[in-house]
Amino acid sequence: MATIKAAILGFGTVGQGIYHIVNEKREDLKKSLGLDLEISAVLVNNVGKERIATPGVLVTDNFEDIINIPGLQVVFEAIVNEEPAYNYLCRAIDKGCHVVTANKVMFSKYSIPLHERAKSRGVFIGYEATTAGGVPVIKTLKNLLQVNSVRRIQGILNGTSNYILTQMRQDECQFGDSLKEAQDLGYAEADPFNDVSGQDAFRKLMILSALAFKKQPNWNDVRVVGIDEISLEDVRKAKEEGLRYRHVAEIEQDENGELYASVGPQLVGPDHPLYSIEGVNNAVALDTNYIGTLTLVGPGAGMYPTASVMVEDYAEIIGKRAGFFITI
């Protein structure tokens, strides 16, 4: 049986999750795909740092060591920020590797050139993990778009913001206290700016836009508001009226093809599909012409949800090449 050699770029929570899942599911993947998947190398920031044991795996802080591995075929990328991730992925694609990324900051900006590059090289890009964590909104959209057109997308795309809003309502606590709790529980970063400012949700919305509408609005035209200006008084008042604050990222296409996007807090009532989405969950409601509204809900982040959809991307890519058949 042939072996597929893969590397993981970035060995934080998500990178380690990929490593665990590939090892746990190695025999199953062999059986279903007819190919063995081996993690040959991981790219880290600091080789000296103590980390989980990875026997037989090259651990390096030098990307050149990885890109020069003979026969490397798949690169899983779980780094943050645009660079050097974009440069690494370009080089991996040029070498003929399939790439699977979780990097929303990079991918929101470079999805179009990366796809063009991959197409010309005959390789695939998996990016399910960039948007809504374990919720398979990218695959679902790709399938829908074979037949349906999408008019509007509305989503809760940042689990940290949703967790804070949920806590403020349920426990009647201040924004700062909810944020601290989210940080203590590992839901929010030490620097929570990207999450609470709406920037993280904005980047994910742009990825959905590129897929659903084949373009993005001008980024400067999109009003992005965070949750940091919502007071406990606002939340209490909404609660009394039977409403809830949700941090909603939405984009809509009008009849002329123009896109209108916004990211910010909204008050929603019990009939709204996002009303019942609590805690760190993400949700995406897709308004389509034939199916109507389809809503997907699930964990928006976390080691295993995110890593799991990345390994699914790998399986999908292999399936595209080999043809696949699931017996039942």
Half-sphere exposure of 295 (CA within 13 A, CB side): 14
Q: Which residues in 256-295 contact its own copies (CB under 8 A)?
A: 270-271, 273, 275-276, 278, 288, 290-295
Distance CA 127, CA 310 (A): 8
Q: Where are the beta strands (DSSP E) in the chain?
A: 3-9, 36-43, 58-60, 72-77, 98-101, 125-126, 150-156, 223-224, 244-253, 259-268, 281-288, 293-299
Pick 48 or 323: Cβ nearer its own copies: 323
- Tokens found for residue 25: 């599911």
Asked if 98 contacts 124 with a C-beta cutoff of 8 angstroms, the reply is: yes
For its own copies, which is the closer residue by CB, 27 or 61? 27
Cβ atoms within 10 Å, residue 300: 31
Q: Is 10 annotated as a binding residue?
A: yes
Question: Segment 297-326, which members bind its own copies (CB under 8 A)?
Answer: 297-299, 302, 304-305, 307-309, 311-312, 315-316, 319-321, 323-326
Has 189 been labeled as part of a binding site? yes
Q: Which of 142, 151, 180, 239 binds its own copies (CB under 8 A)?
A: 142
Q: Given the rule CB under 8 A, which of 5-13, 145-153, 174-182, 187-195 is the region that contacts its own copies?
A: 145-153
Q: Is 13 annotated as a binding residue?
A: yes
Cα separation, 127 vs 107, in Å, equals: 8
Helices 26-33 and 13-24 pack at an angle, to 10 degrees, of: 70
Closest CA to 288 of 210, 205, 212: 212
Q: Which of residues 23-52 bind its own copies (CB under 8 A)?
A: 25, 29, 32
* Position among 5, 91, 115, 180 found at the interface with its own copies (CB under 8 A): 115
Catalytic pick from 5, 119, 204, 320?
A: 204
**Any binding-site annotation on 323?**
no
Examine the residue annotation and report whether 119 is marked as an active-site residue of this protein.
no
To its own copies, the closest distance from the beta carbon of 137 in angstroms equals 11
By the rule CB under 8 A, 145 interacts with its own copies = yes
Whichever of 182 and 309 has its CB closer to its own copies, that residue is: 309
Name the token pair of 55.
């026997």
Residues 156, 246: Cα–Cα separation, whole Å:
7
35-43, 69-77, 139-147, 222-230 -> range binding its own copies (CB under 8 A): 139-147
Rounded Cα distance between 39 and 75, Å, is 9
Using the rule CB under 8 A, is 214 a contact of its own copies? yes
Q: How far apart are CA 189 and CA 216, in angstroms?
A: 28
Using DSSP, state whether 100 is helix, strand or coil. strand
What residues have CB less than 8 Å from 287, skipping those under 6 apart? 150, 151, 152, 153, 154, 293
Q: Per-residue DSSP letters for 207-230?
A: HHHHHHHSS---GGGSEE--STT-
239: annotated binding-site residue? no
Q: Which of 47, 143, 172, 176 binds its own copies (CB under 8 A)?
A: 143
Binding site for its own copies (CB under 8 A): 21, 25, 29, 32, 111-112, 115-116, 119, 124, 134-136, 139-140, 142-148, 210-211, 214, 270-271, 273, 275-276, 278, 288, 290-299, 302, 304-305, 307-309, 311-312, 315-316, 319-321, 323-328
Active site residues: 204
Indicate the annotated binding residues for NADP(+).
10-15
**Which parts are annotated binding residues?**
10-15, 104, 189
